[in-house]
A = this chain, B = another copy of it.
Amino acid sequence: MDEVDAVVERVRERVLPDNEERAELQRVAAEVIDRAETAVADLPVDAEVIQVGSTARGTWVAGDRDVDVFVAFPADLDREELEEYGLDVGHAVLPGGHEEYAEHPYVKGEVEGYDVDLVPCYDLDDATDIRSAVDRTPFHTRYLEERLDDRLADEVRVCKQFLKGIGAYGSDLRTQGFSGFLTELLVLEYGGVREFLAAAADWHPPVRLDPEDHGQAAFDDPLVVIDPTDPERNVAAVLSAGRLASLQHYAREFLDDPREALFEPREPDPLDADEVRAAISDRGTTPVAVVFDAPDVVEDQLWPQLYRSLGGVTDELDRRGFDVLRAATWAHDRAVLFAELAVAERPTVERHEGPPVHVRDHAAGFYGKYADGDAYGPFVEGDRYVVEREREFAAAAEFLRSDALFDVALGAHVESALEEGYDVLVGDDVAALADEFGAEFGEYFDPRP
């Protein structure tokens, strides 16, 4: 056994649930299923109660306390009835639960310390007939139950722990990483965690895998793993290029220098205000922050809007000559669009190139527009007219505080939140954010792959 295998073995021992945890989980799952079947019996339609997810497939990491139970209704049931009956069952099973909304509404609650999702879906013959994403889950569970033996299930647990350690686990739209199902398919495809990491270390994206060899469609994603139950779907559609590159980096790190530390999520020390100021001073940049109340929407709505807004704002800062060195967006009670500027101020004048002088009509229009104005010029450089005209915003903060901020591509809820009011912090003043975002500053000023 070499050092890679030895580390995998030690991690396996940590992530493998012990008999007590397994028995306890089984007991709770049985209880939930029993309650659900009782509730279904009271409905005017028949429905099948099935356990899904990692606890059903034996691929959960020790300590995870999630039980996912689906209620599969007949395919000919109205969607409205499905939702109504689904919520009926959910509330019956989880009396203290609350409703959440994915594509259907469903009930989330707690049973003896376990997080339980009780989700209605349709009982279909073929995954390509699905009406919403949750209908696919039972197919995934059946597909993997048939293929993951105990050894592979344990390899999946180790792999999930690795992805958690490097911050790449989760297909939520904040993380844009690897879902549990994707992890399971990859370990299955390569036959083990070590084999998967060795392959990933050498990938040249775009990479395409098709376990059932039935995919026809083309995808524009860096990793394509055709869903074995649906040839039209890429299981890795959410995975970003950055998370994939991060996986490749850490796969190599692990193979070159195997160590358990890679399996532990990094938790950089939070910075206090003084430390934030020191970091800014060391870097010599001018940070700016747009701070507002975080919109009250689910995370999978919030984060794409924050990322989009950050892209919109930083593109516009760059376009206006305020060079963005790096940027980030964070959210707790407040949300922050944070950009570290290499150039925060510009001269009063900006250079504006006109057409080549020989393009007579166009050139005459340009010359006529500026000749009698306040601009310097028009003069000639090479074959073109050039003017130096007044710049709209000479300081980045002026732009951020102006209505022009609303002309950039912002997510809809972010835009509404900004309309309610926002603060613009500049330079050392951003240190005031350390109370709420100290951990984010810690990560920002000590970036890793």
Report whether A449 and B242 are in contact in the complex, using a CB–CB cutoff of 8 Å. no
CB within 8 Å for A379 and B252 given contacts A201-B360, A326-B388: no
User: Is residue A384 contacting chain B, with contact meaning CB distance below 8 A?
Assistant: yes
Closest to A377 in B: B447
Closest to A360 in B: B202
User: A195-236 CB contact bits vs B (8 Å, 1 = yes)?
Assistant: 000000111110000000000000000100000000000000
**A449 surroundings in chain B (CB, below 8 A):** 357, 367, 378-380, 385
Report whether A346 and B351 are in contact in the complex, using a CB–CB cutoff of 8 Å. no
User: Is residue A283 contacting chain B, with contact meaning CB distance below 8 A?
Assistant: yes
**A385 surroundings in chain B (CB, below 8 A):** 249, 449
Report whether A349 and B284 are in contact in the complex, using a CB–CB cutoff of 8 Å. yes
User: Is residue A329 contacting chain B, with contact meaning CB distance below 8 A?
Assistant: no
* Chain A interface mostly: mixed
Cα A343 to Cα B345 in complex, Å, equals 8
CB within 8 Å for A245 and B356 given contacts A351-B325, A447-B376, A447-B379: yes
- Counting every copy of the chain, the complex holds 2
Q: Which residues from 378 to 434 on chain A have a C-beta closer than 8 Å to any C-beta of chain B?
A: 378-385, 388, 394
Q: Of B284, B321, B367, which one neighbours A342 at CB under 8 angstroms?
A: B321
Q: Of B205, B367, B376, B384, which one neighbours A383 at CB under 8 angstroms?
A: B205
Report whether B348 and A342 are in contact in the complex, using a CB–CB cutoff of 8 Å. no
Report whether A248 and B379 are in contact in the complex, using a CB–CB cutoff of 8 Å. no
Cα A245 to Cα B203 in complex, Å, equals 54
User: Is residue A146 contacting chain B, with contact meaning CB distance below 8 A?
Assistant: no
Report whether A284 and B347 are in contact in the complex, using a CB–CB cutoff of 8 Å. yes
CB within 8 Å for A241 and B383 given contacts A325-B388, A326-B351, A348-B283: yes
User: Is residue A285 contacting chain B, with contact meaning CB distance below 8 A?
Assistant: yes
Interface residues of A (CB under 8 A from B): 201-205, 222, 241-242, 244-246, 248-249, 252, 282-286, 321, 323, 325-326, 342-343, 346-351, 356-358, 360, 363-364, 367, 376-385, 388, 394, 445-449
Question: Mind listing 29 A-B residue pairs with CB under 8 Å?
Answer: A205-B358, A242-B383, A245-B356, A245-B357, A245-B382, A248-B357, A248-B358, A249-B357, A249-B363, A252-B364, A283-B347, A284-B346, A285-B348, A285-B349, A286-B347, A321-B342, A325-B351, A325-B388, A326-B351, A342-B347, A342-B350, A357-B449, A367-B449, A376-B445, A376-B446, A378-B449, A379-B447, A380-B449, A385-B449
Cα A326 to Cα B347 in complex, Å, equals 12
